Amino acid sequence: MSLDYNKPLPKPQKWSQEFWNGTKINKLLLKKCKECGHLDFPPYMFCTECMSPESEWVESTGKGIIYSFSTTYLGAPPAFIKGQPYTLIFVDLEEGVRILSKIVDCEVTDVKIGMKVEAVFDAVTEDTTLVMFRPVK
């Protein structure tokens, strides 16, 4: 955690606040429709399948596989330039939703499609904890 964290932070919506409340206690929560059971990531106000306003939050195992990745060496947005190179990944979670994140605890040149990863939580400020992923050992 750092007081001088200068990177852009998520500004949660009313219906996504619970996701960010979850990350603060190291839980990866997914919005599930109470009517049709559909999991929405990113979450929206209404279920994107059946438009129901009724939903609940279910905890993900945080485990998944890398669907694709790209390592940024140059041209990152200003706040991220110091952190180059870094690898962005699309993770297909076991629950069937795809999430964008960054890989940690892994050499950027070792990242591969199909690699098994698990969620780790990075409390970047007092109010915000981001979800990163690391390779499953």
| Binding interface with another protein (CB under 8 A) | 7-13, 16, 41-42, 67-80, 83, 86, 88, 90, 97-102, 113, 128, 130
Minimum distance from residue 57 beta carbon to another protein (Å): 16
d(CA 128, CA 119): 16
| Minimal distance, residue 19 CB to another protein, in Å | 9
Least CB distance from residue 113 to another protein, whole Å? 5
d(CA 20, CA 28): 9
Q: Distance between CA 136 and CA 60 in Å, rounded? A: 16
Closest to another protein by CB, 29 or 99 = 99
Phi and psi angles of residue 108, each rounded to the nearest 5 degrees, phi first: -60, -30
